[in-house]
Structure 1
Amino acid sequence: MDINFELYKVFHTASTSGSFSAAARKLYISQSAVSQSIRKLEESTGSVLFVRGPRSVKLTAAGEMLYSHVDQAYSLFRAAEGKMREMQSLSFGEVKIGVGDTILRYLLIPLLQKFIENYPNIKIKIINRTSPGIIDCIKSGAVDLGIVTMPVEDKDIETTDFSSVEDVFICSSRFGHLKHRKVTIDELSAMPLLLLQKGSTTRRNLDLYCASRGCMITPEIELENMDLLVELSRIGLGIAYVLKESAAQFVSDNELFILQLKEPMPRRQLVIAELANVPLSPAAEVFKEKMLE
């Protein structure tokens, strides 16, 4: 049967008020409107709900049973309203983020640290995927926001510029003869290269760059983890292609150096992706604002 919540509202108010006239005053309606609503509810339930007196009403056994359930429902509504207020005030909520592991480690962790300091009651959920996987997660509702690499060609996804990053070739002193000159991508293709596996955004961009110059590269080693590529490069196993930030400390300590290319690689544009025309939760909206500060 269809539920007429207005009838239950009148019933609950009359039950707690003790009379139809008092209920009418609380609800800002006429006493006859209260009486009609109660009559409709009694017809709907097939039970007499009140014993009517000259100036007051009292619940019947059936009315007492119904009231116990309706009062529980009212408590749930009040709890829901309270949770909504908490969400709006950011004392409660959840942000679901999709991001690649390297971007998470070198760009997002500092932002996350500040956010949880300012909003300790907001729950953070992180899903690690490549850019295409993150887009799929956004569309399925598994995440609210994702950090992905452009281009994003999906009409259901809205993007906001976040940051641009640089991927670089790094190597140890084993390749010191390359340090003070610019090298071509053809030269690099003949050297032992340490690359991320195909499917990663970093690798895809490198493959596209090489293809545009008629060059094909065959890596010596392919891994899923960029930090391992940096470590293998440190021991002289080869030349790694990694996010610049992932090797910054080792470059600063002169354990590694960045190769200079004759034709520099284009920077990668990172964007914040979300579902188009779908409002974010208050917590997710604030997190996005903090990312853009």
Structure 2
Amino acid sequence: MDLRNLRYFLTVAEQGGFTAAAEQLHIAQPAVSMAIRKLEQQLGLPLFDRQERRIRLTDEGEVLLRHARIILQAVNDAERDMRELHTLERGEVRVGIPSMLGSYYFPPILMAFRHHYPGVRLEVIEAGTRKLQQMIHQGEIDMGVIVCDTPPEDLETHCFLHAQMMAILPADHALAQARTITYDAFFTEELVLFKEGYFHREVIDRISREAGVTPRIGFEANLIPLIKQIVSHGYGISTLLEMVVADDPGLVAVPFSPAVWLELSLAWRKGHRLSRANQTFVDLVLQHAERDHNR
């Protein structure tokens, strides 16, 4: 069924005549009459009783009128939704971010996205990178942040941050003024670490295995303010990104020797076409990363 002919039919029915409908549609009256005849021929049913001076709908036309209103309203709604999505007046982004980056790297990005696209619903889920990969596979989130040392073959990845993992010490620690800290020296200390499943914990577990040592873990916590408090009071040392302690005079970030670098990427299912809202979010993250790199 031709939607244009259906629109003409609805207009004739609502205006009560072909001439009035033509004026409403801003087309010639014969074009309206021809469209209605084609619709009647296609359906094999009369839609208007033309015997009287003012045309009226037949019983068949009354039935079609009810459907025409529903169909055309649905089409109008779909067209409006597509326009809004195209201009990002609507949409949804579901992104998973580990707590460290969610607290110290992503806030300006999230606020900028919200400022530019207030109609887009932005949902941020906090979890470790392994959990986020699982959520991507299960369709619970559109994308997530992962460590891209060995990119999963079934995920599309775009690196946005090349960051150094640092040993975090209280300012009065004996090694606080050292230029670097060896793995052996680090593992002789009591440690305050994130729980398993978070990227920085996985790196420490890997390094300890390679070094053949068992870490002395005094505290396990995923709350960054708590970790910083524990370290600053001298109850252990930890590992964080330098950005986390940049404004904390009670803590010092010391590079490892050899250095530990992390490649952090946004990831989503390979072969899955991102929505316009999601692609715009990815573009914003990558633009932010490029600006930081060029500073």
Please say whether Structure 1 and Structure 2 have the same fold, judged by a TM-score greater than 0.5. yes
Q: CA deviation at 1:186?
A: 2.2
Change (3 A) 1:130 1:83: same
Query: Is 2:76 the counterpart of 1:81?
Result: no
- Which has the higher mean CA deviation after the structures are superposed, 225-234 or 62-71? 62-71
For 1:122-141, list aligned pairs within 5 A.
Answer: 122-141=120-139
SS at match of 2:246: helix
Match of 1:281 among 248, 269, 275: 275
Q: Which whole-Å CA distance do the structure 1 matches of 2:133 and 2:178 have between them?
A: 41
Match of 2:202 among 201, 204, 207: 204
Match of 1:99 among 79, 97, 100: 97
| TM-score of the pair, normalised by structure 2 | 0.81
| Cross-structure match for 1:144 | 142
Q: Which whole-Å CA distance do the structure 2 matches of 1:28 and 1:147 have between them?
A: 57
Match of 2:43 among 31, 41, 44: 41
For 1:109, the aligned partner's letter is: P
Q: Deviations over 1:51-105 (max 9, x none)?
A: 3449985312342243123213211211220121111112222222111111111
Q: Which whole-Å CA distance do the structure 2 matches of 1:143 and 1:27 have between them?
A: 54
| Cross-structure match for 2:253 | 258
For 1:127-276, list aligned pairs within 5 A.
Answer: 127-151=125-149, 153-176=151-174, 179-180=177-178, 182-250=180-248, 253=249, 255-264=250-259, 266-276=260-270
Contact 2:136 2:143 in 1 (8 A): yes
For 1:256, the aligned partner's letter is: L
Change (3 A) 1:141 1:57: farther
Gaps of 5+ in 2: 288-295
Contact 1:162 1:270 in 2 (8 A): yes
Coordinate RMSD, CA, aligned: 3.1
For 2:280, the aligned partner's letter is: V
Q: CA deviation at 1:10?
A: 3.4
Q: CA deviation at 1:269?
A: 0.5
Q: Which whole-Å CA distance do the structure 2 matches of 1:75 and 1:132 have between them?
A: 45
Contact 1:185 1:215 in 2 (8 A): no
For 1:275, the aligned partner's letter is: R
For 1:258, the aligned partner's letter is: A
Q: CA deviation at 1:107?
A: 0.8
| Cross-structure match for 1:63 | 61
Contact 2:148 2:263 in 1 (8 A): yes
Change (3 A) 1:182 1:279: closer
Contact 1:42 1:49 in 2 (8 A): no
Q: Which whole-Å CA distance do the structure 2 matches of 1:135 and 1:83 have between them?
A: 30
Q: CA deviation at 1:207?
A: 0.9
Q: CA deviation at 1:143?
A: 2.3
Q: Which whole-Å CA distance do the structure 2 matches of 1:26 and 1:122 have between them?
A: 44
Q: Which whole-Å CA distance do the structure 1 matches of 2:53 and 2:147 have between them?
A: 72
- Which has the higher mean CA deviation after the structures are superposed, 134-143 or 82-91? 134-143
Q: Which whole-Å CA distance do the structure 2 matches of 1:27 and 1:128 have between them?
A: 63
Gaps of 5+ in 1: none
Q: Count how many residue pairs are aligned between Structure 1 and Structure 2.
A: 279
- Which has the higher mean CA deviation after the structures are superposed, 89-98 or 170-179? 170-179
Contact 1:94 1:283 in 2 (8 A): yes
- Which has the higher mean CA deviation after the structures are superposed, 10-19 or 231-240? 10-19
Contact 1:98 1:143 in 2 (8 A): yes
- Which has the higher mean CA deviation after the structures are superposed, 107-116 or 272-281? 272-281
For 1:86, the aligned partner's letter is: E
For 1:269, the aligned partner's letter is: E
Contact 1:230 1:242 in 2 (8 A): no
